[in-house]
Amino acid sequence: MLAITCPGQGSQTPGFLSPWLELPGVADRLHWLSTVAGIDLAAHGTTSDEETIKDTAVAQPLIVAAGLLSLLALFQHPADGFRVVGAGAGHSVGEITAASAAGVISAEQAMVLVRERGRSMASAATVTATGMSAVLGGDPQEVLASIESQGLTAANVNGAGQVVAAGTLEQLAALADNPPAKTRVMPLKVAGAFHTEHMQPAVADLARLSRAVSTHDARVPIVSNVDGSVVHSGPEVLRRIVNQVSNPVRWDLCMETLKDLGVTGIIEIPPAGALTGLVKRGLKGVEVLALKTPDDLEAAHRMVREHGSSRQASQPTWRLVTSPVKGMVQVSAVQPGTEVAAGDVVAHVSSLRDSLEVRSGHAGTVVEWLVEDGDPVSPGQPLLRMHPQEGLS
């Protein structure tokens, strides 16, 4: 199985877009995305210096646009990707890239959302002097306990021995003065404490904007930063993207889910590198490729051929409710013939971490259960089949 991963803020470097603009049509497409975003992305991706592209309001639209452009080079038509990619995942702002790539929102909607996300997060960061520091190495539980003891938030739990702490500059200084055993604490060049309560004003801004965004169900399963769940419902993908701004990124759980799904190959799209490093350390035996320049496209196309699985891209006339995580399923009292509303709880899945509600993404009539109470299930495994309610499918 092939997965596509989309990087987050901090992965951009000066001039990284230059070689991509030499491909036919890419410069024109970037000009269109720049017009939508109201930002000169061509200049920022080619000639702007490191300090300029570090600005949150610049970095986030630049990263999403770069990812979408590279996918047009990797797959000539979106349907080509829908047929062969088994899963998609994005780190932080990369979830917007993944949502657009999976057909949940359009490229234009993605650029408006990421423009406002970047602006709102940059504005929220000015309220209090905050920041982020990477904690590398150490015992994972001791690291998390130390971060919490300083009043900080583990904003990015990335796995592979990497946790990012976020909070006030005073709290971060205290952590640096008294680091967990066998760790290195490295301050990050970011504008504020992203994915913490300090970003709550940005959530409110995005929540209002998102109410006017129409969505489609994901054509490729998306692994969510919230808890590593596999998400198909378009409205749910968008809701999680909004709320994630003030909540931790659990990339460690995303990697666990990719492993549980049986992923054998992962391509990280531009600006690539950071997630590839985490996957190499966290998912041994999975082939990975950082798609940094067009020179890497030949290797990427080979991986698509070798790891991609051919499947139909068309949508069925019935709907499936799938398991969000690996665990044991507990089915509800819902019986075949029952009318279910969108958002209704139809089952629970208990994992080693906790028990998660399984909600129907659509209104419809239950046709049949595909599992029995107590069965072990995998992330993305169909649990329930239903006919969609007419007009609400």
Q: Active-site positions?
A: 92, 195
Nearest to 158 by CA among 280, 272, 246, 269: 280
Between CA 64 and CA 369 the distance in angstroms is: 39
C-alpha 360: how far from chain center: 21
Nearest to 351 by CA among 212, 223, 253, 209: 253
Between CA 243 and CA 245 the distance in angstroms is: 5
Between CA 283 and CA 134 the distance in angstroms is: 21
Nearest to 2 by CA among 101, 85, 111: 85
* The two three-digit tokens of residue 100, written as one number: 């657009």
Angle between helices 56-74 and 297-307 (to 10 degrees): 60
Cβ atoms within 10 Å, residue 342: 16
Contact yes or no for 113/105 (Cβ under 8 A): yes
Contact yes or no for 101/81 (Cβ under 8 A): yes
Strands 339-340 and 287-290: unpaired
Strand partners, 133: 165, 187
* The two three-digit tokens of residue 268, written as one number: 């990280």
The SS3 of residue 168 is strand
Cβ atoms within 10 Å, residue 392: 10
Rounded to the nearest 5°, which phi and psi values hold at 184? -120, 135
